[in-house]
Copies of this chain bind each other. A is one copy, B any other.
């Protein structure tokens, strides 16, 4: 059984900050957001975790292996280098969706995301070392088949992107509703999902659903691990097997 540790990263009071005293230059906001995400990728990634940009003002991380102290250090490091601070809610569970719901509640209970006085909250709990197993994380790496040949090299860049976005919007919703999974667009034509223990038939089902609903052809590699980095790398290798064998679903 999986046991995901999920962290919600929320920029404190960010909406009001973006327009105080006047609307800030969009290019600076974009730079700030994407660099903060890049830094979190390194801060969390260096501890074997994964973080997804999601909305940028709310990011979701898979943090098995990170202690509350590690979280505190990430929080401190952001405060030392950015004009904004972040709050962190941490929760665990066999269902990634439930874990994220619990993590979200940790922050909601502390006040509104746009409450001026709610800053640098750090709440929740991590998995006790003794309960951690090598199958705590299941990661699925989805990818569109021959995106380059069918789209990137053929139609205009926005229509290519619409194709990917329609696939992603459908996949994220279906995986959440049917399979309790959290799916994140990670650039290109790739989506990475954090899943409970799903089997081959369930992945086939999701791929079929997306094909039938929005005509996007996916393949997926699946990996398990004690930490996100191991599960994610196994998923990537499984995806390479899909590529080599022409299959749709592969487990590593």
Give the interface of A toward B (CB within 8 A). Answer: 8, 10, 14-15, 19, 23-35, 37-39, 41-47, 50-51, 53-58, 60, 73, 76-77, 79-83, 97, 100-101, 103-105, 108, 112-114, 148-149, 152-162, 164-166, 168-169, 172-173, 176, 182, 186-189, 192, 229, 232-233, 236-237, 239-240
Contact = CB atoms under 8 A, between A and B. Distances in A.
Given A23-B240, A25-B76, A27-B50, A8 B157 contact: yes
A29 B15 CA distance: 27
A28 B81 contact: yes
A148 B113 CA distance: 7
A151 to B, nearest CB: 10
A60 B97 contact: no
- Looking at A43, A161, A189, which has the most chain B CB atoms within 10 Å of its CB? A161
Contact of A153 (B46, B113, B157): B113
A162 B185 CA distance: 12
B100 A158 contact: yes
Contact of A104 (B37, B156, B176): B156
A124 to B, nearest CB: 13
A13 to B, nearest CB: 10
A164 to B, nearest CB: 6
Contacts of A240: 19, 23
For A46, A100, A108, A233, the residue with the greatest tally of chain B CB atoms inside 10 Å of its CB is A46
Q: Is the interface of A mostly helix, strand, loop or mixed?
A: helix
Given A34-B37, A34-B41, A83-B79, A112 B148 contact: yes
Given A34-B37, A53-B34, A26 B100 contact: no
A4 B168 CA distance: 28
List the 5 shortest-distance A-B pairs measured between CB atoms, nearest first.
Answer: A27-B45, A56-B187, A23-B236, A101-B156, A169-B169
Nearest to A164: B55
A81 B45 contact: no
A78 B217 CA distance: 33
A29 B162 contact: no
Contacts of A30: 37-38, 41, 45, 51, 53, 186-187
A193 to B, nearest CB: 11
